A and B are shown apart, each in its own frame.
Chain A
Amino acid sequence: MKRVLIATDGSDGGNRALDAAVELAGATHAALIVLTVGGNVTGADLRKLADRGGDLSKSLQAQADRILKRAAVSARRGGVMPAALRCEWGDAAEAILDVARREKVDAIVLGRRGGGRLSRLLMGSVSQKVASLAACTVVVVP
């Protein structure tokens, strides 16, 4: 195994997936690529931002940077220096599959939870979609 992609949204599930990916990359001496797919904003946050006249793009970018920074610190603590930090926007599953293809990774690690019950019901979960469509090994951390 040469390259491992970890996709995290900074949630508890994402952090557990990160720990597992760090362990996997450390054990196999693989390069770790950290990915976050930004754009997860609640309606309440949007309304607050609208009333303040804030810049959503900057907020999204800052949020994604924070997630990646924390993930990098966490990976270094686990003894693995991330080879790359990636940030993508849009549909999470499609973005993960796209980065996996471009980076030619051998394994994708991601958490099972994320998104609301309704969105999971309507659109299916990200992990299910990635597991079904990825051309490499997919590790879904519960």
Chain B
Amino acid sequence: MQFFRQIGLTFQQRKELQPFWTASQAVWRTHRSKVLVLGGFLVTVVMMQLLVQVLLNLWNRNFFDALERRDAHALWVQIQLFVPLAAGSIFLAATSVWGRMTAQRGWRAALTRHIIGKWLANGRHARLNGMMHGTENPEYRIAVDVRISTDAPVDLALALFASLVTAFTFFGVLWTVGGSIDVPVFGMTLTVPGYLVIGVILYSTLMSGLMTVVGHHLAAVIERLNQSDAELRAAADAFRGEQPAAAAHIAEGLKRTELSLKLQAALLWWRELCWQLMRTTLISHGNSLLAPVVAWVLCVPKYLSGTMTLGELTQTAAAFVTVQSAFNWLVDNYQRLADWRSSAHRVSTLVAALDDLGKTEELAPPAAERS
């Protein structure tokens, strides 16, 4: 499956991305205690967000049960309970943004300084300029690619962790509150235990399967677009070099043609990305409309037979949508994963080139040192 191919590719490319991870580990080691504290803090925030989500899910049940009983006092109690729950949820969401962005800023700052240190040492920036393939636009790689490559892993890892713990927790809600259902088959009664868990797994598999079929070119198209954008920047960058007056006119004509070609390639990939996103939007938007309805439809037989209260119906329906959304982690994030891989790869090639230059210097020290 294309989505799992994304993760597969990330692991396959671990050798290519090794310089990025090695440099990151080096900067993490120097800020070890800060990394551990922030990491622990972010995990705690995710767990507290999950707790509030579970409490809100329970609140949903109690509120609708009170509504069904037309119990004004219970409704008033639920409304009073909602205020601290909502406040807690809002506070945790804001805290999560602070924690994530602080971690991203710290990682970016340390990695950027680390790379700038290597880049400026012994005049490597001058020697690197246009000399080695795959290291074009070092300024852009340092300013933008380092930002993207340090932003995305924090968000993606936290989202994955939150999805996993949310899915497992709400599986429990679906299993216990949803319970089993009796299905009449050829005059007999078949009891399906945890039928909502089976339902959410089947529904999520169906949606992921559809997305795989419809958007299986998307990741490759994003990668080619990123590559084309990088080539376009390199072609524009070529105008900065000075040419001898006699050759300037011809050289500029060639560069202009090259720039037009690279722009055309980037625009064609952009056009294809538009089509790919339109196709995947058909499924993702359809899913956002369909998932709650499927949950309600699955719960309605038990509600109509009187074995499920209105509160339990809304609680299980909400839990169904929550689990289904958690299952969509990869579907929701593979565009960002592809962007991250491209940026991390560009940072890696720059770091590897700087390391190679460093090794050459060790073998042959710079002229100033020799004299």
> A residues bordering B, Cβ < 8 Å?
38-39, 41, 43, 46-47, 49-51, 53, 56-57, 60-61, 87-90
Instruction: Check A57/B272 contact, CB under 8 A, given A47-B221, A50-B224.
Output: no
A43: chain B residues within 8 A (beta carbon):
271-272, 275
B265 CB-CB contact with A under 8 Å = yes
Chain B interface extent, by class? 20 to 34
CB pair B269–A38 under 8 Å, yes or no, is no
The reply to whether the CB of B257 lies closer than 8 angstroms to some CB of chain A is yes
Question: Is the CB–CB distance between A41 and B268 below 8 Å?
Answer: yes
B residues less than 8 Å from A61 (CB atoms): 261
Q: Which of B221, B262, B263, B272 has the most CB of A within 10 A?
A: B272
CB <8 Å contact, B268 and A51: no
Known contacts A43-B275, A89-B263; decide if A51 and B257 are in contact (CB<8 Å). Answer: no
- B264 close to A (CB within 8 Å): yes
Closest 6 CB pairs of A and B: A50-B220, A89-B260, A89-B264, A39-B264, A56-B265, A46-B272
A94 to B268, CA, bound (A): 18
Contact A60 B265 (CB under 8 A): yes
User: Please, how many angstroms separate the alpha-carbon atoms of A58 and B267 in the complex?
Assistant: 15
Q: How far is it, in angstroms, between the C-alpha of A14 and the C-alpha of B275 when the chains are bound?
A: 28
Residue of A nearest to B232 (CB): A57
B228 CB-CB contact with A under 8 Å:
yes
The A interface is mostly helix, strand or loop, or mixed, namely helix
Known contacts A43-B272, A56-B224, A60-B265, A51 near B217 by CB under 8 Å: yes
Q: Interface 1/0s, chain B 261-294, versus A by CB < 8 A?
A: 1111101110110010000000000000000000
Q: Is B264's CB under 8 angstroms from A38's CB?
A: yes
Are A56 and B269 within 8 A (Cβ)?
yes
Main DSSP-derived SS at the B contact region: helix
In the complex, whether B145 has a CB less than 8 A from a CB of chain A is: no
Q: Judging by beta carbons under 8 Å apart, are A89 and B268 in contact?
A: no
Q: B residues touching A (Cβ–Cβ < 8 Å)?
A: 217, 220-221, 223-224, 228, 231, 257, 260-265, 267-269, 271-272, 275
What chain B residues lie within 8 Å of A47 (beta carbons)?
217, 220-221, 272
B144–chain A nearest beta-carbon distance, Å: 21
Cβ of A56 and Cβ of B268 under 8 Å apart? yes
Query: Min CB distance, A90 to chain B, in Å?
Result: 6
Can you list 18 A-B contacts (CB < 8 A)? A38-B261, A39-B267, A43-B271, A43-B272, A46-B221, A46-B268, A50-B221, A50-B223, A50-B269, A51-B217, A53-B224, A56-B228, A56-B265, A57-B228, A57-B265, A60-B264, A60-B265, A90-B263
Q: Which of A39, A56, A60 has the most CB of B within 10 A?
A: A56
- A100–B128 Cα distance when bound, in Å, is 41
Shortest beta-carbon distance, B51 to chain A, in Å?
A: 43
Q: How far is the CA of A87 from the CA of B258 in the complex (A)?
A: 11
Q: Give the residue name and chain of the B residue nearest to A56 (CB).
A: B265
CB distance from A48 to the nearest CB of B (A): 9
Q: Which residues from B are CB-within-8-Å of A89?
A: 257, 260-261, 263-264
The 8 Å CB contact of A46, one of B257, B261, B264, B269, is B269
